[in-house]
Amino acid sequence: MKIAFMMLPVVYLAGNGYLFMRVWQAMGSVPVWGKVIVTVLFWLAAFSLFAAIGFRDARIPALLLKSMYHIGAVWMAFLLYVVLLLAVFDVAGIFVPAMKHSLLFALPLTLCILCGGYINYRNPRVEHIDISLDKYQNPSPVRIAAISDVHLGYGTSVSALKRYVKLINSQNPDLILIAGDLIDNSVRPLIQEPYAEVLSELKAPWGIYMVPGNHEYISGIEACEDFLEHTPVHLLRDSIVTLPGGLQIIGRDDMSNRSRKPLEELIEGADSALPMIVIDHQPYNLVGTDSLEVDIQISGHTHRGQIWPLNWLTDCIFEQSHGYRKWTHSHIFVSSGISLWGPPFRIGTHGDMAVIDVR
């Protein structure tokens, strides 16, 4: 796994180098000054996302950082599909001479794919799940809205958050659970814009609870805690909350904290006669969760790869990369994320939230 992630920068550089070579070939008769401009713009786009993340807390105008973030994020998805299509058309050109101008075919087709992916991203699915628990003795069912990976910041704007809040409230949940990565890379844009005010519009009489994800640690966990104090969202870090209806919410700290408590230790502090709902950002060791007879677990993190073919990779890495599954004992939902990180596209995957009715 570590080797695969270490190879990603090499693959990214190779893809950019291949595309630049093809663009350079296509500029055969373009004046030198034109080639210089294209070269500068090309490599600025290629590295702007990494620059925006690296300088996220520097004294750089927010508008510039946001622009760099969006340009670089779109570029990553554009690069992936245009290179894949160039390779396909190059092979096809061996048999069909008309395909030798592969760049002319690859560019418009890539733009069509990205447009479709953007529309798909703007329309997350709502998955309705009914769960019956013998330990749940309340005569009235409880409705839980479960989400993950909102990634508030330069990627998920205030206007996008307003759409998500409206979608969540329309389900009339009693309880809202957020399985980490509410915040993207920094709390800076959240302070500069009215994110806290919009989060305060969430309505759930039983409360709003979340656990940290790896991006809360990237953003600075203390800064995230300070921000959340100005919202109705309660952050759980290896702690348990028992609600008036008898549900126990067990919130695990993220794996980024190497000192987080084992799930077995947390469960020892819970009442085994009451339903247990675990929120854990990263869905690892689900077999262990099931063996401990956890009733429900909510996770996220995977995004299910977000764009094809990365969904094939996450399906191989995780025991359950997305969606709902009833294990031997545990009911587990792994969200693909109501929003996303980086490129604003969903290709071959869907954003989602779960509406879980517990009876």
What are the structural domain ranges in the chain? 2-121, 126-358
Q: Which residues pair with 296 in a beta bridge?
A: 277, 331
Of 27-41, 163-177, 220-234, the one with minimum mean pLDDT is: 27-41
**CA nearest to 111, candidates 66, 75, 150:** 75
Q: What percent of the chain has pLDDT over 70?
A: 97
Topology (CATH) of 126-358: Purple Acid Phosphatase; chain A, domain 2 (3.60.21)
Phi, psi angles (nearest 5°) of residue 298: -115, 125
What's residue 245's pLDDT?
76
Q: What values do phi and psi take at 174, rounded to 5?
A: -85, -30
**Longest CA pairwise span in the chain (Å):** 77
The sheet with strand 352-358 has its strands ordered as 125-131, 352-358, 142-147, 175-178, 208-210, 233-235
Listed residue (273, 275, 272, 253) closest to 263, CA to CA: 253
Looking at the chain, how many residues does it have? Answer: 359
Q: Is residue 284 within 8 Å of 321, Cβ to Cβ? A: no
CA dist 333 and 331 (Å) reads: 7
Query: How many Cα neighbours within 13 Å face the side chain of 226?
Result: 10
Has this prediction a pTM greater than 0.95?
no
- Strand 276-279: give its sheet, edge to edge: 239-242, 248-251, 276-279, 296-299, 331-334, 323-326
Q: How many helices (H) and strands (E) does the chain have?
A: 12, 12
The Cα 201–Cα 150 span in angstroms is: 16
Q: Give the containing element (helix H, strand E) for 357.
A: strand 352-358
What is the overall mean pLDDT for the chain?
92
Mean pLDDT throughout 65-84? Answer: 93
Residue ranges of the alpha helices (H) in the chain? Answer: 2-26, 32-54, 62-95, 102-121, 158-169, 188-192, 195-199, 214-219, 221-228, 263-268, 286-291, 310-317
For residue 87, what are its two tokens? 């390779």
Predicted local distance difference test score (pLDDT) of residue 1: 53
Of residues 60 and 221, the one with the higher pLDDT is 221
Q: What are the angstrom distances between the C-alpha of 83 and each of 12, 40, 46, 50, 345?
A: 11, 20, 14, 20, 17
Instruction: Read off the pLDDT of each residue in 55-77 and give the average, rounded to a whole number.
Output: 88
C-alpha R_g of the chain:
23
- Among 349, 184, 175, 350, residue whose Cα is nearest residue 279: 175
Question: pLDDT tens, 297-315?
Answer: 999 999 999 999 999 999 9
Peptide linkage before 262 cis (omega within 30 of 0): no
Higher pLDDT, 100 or 176: 176
Rounded CA separation 275/331 (Å): 12
Q: How confident is the model over 266-287, as a mean pLDDT? A: 94
How sure is the predictor about 4, in pLDDT bands with cuts at 50, 70 and 90?
low
Q: Are 168 and 200 contacting, i.e. CB atoms less than 8 angstroms apart?
A: no
pLDDT tens-place string over residues 239-265: 999 998 789 999 999 999 999 999 999
Question: How do residues 182-215 score in pLDDT, each as one tens digit?
Answer: 999 899 999 999 999 999 999 999 999 999 999 9
Q: What type of residue sits at position 306?
A: Q
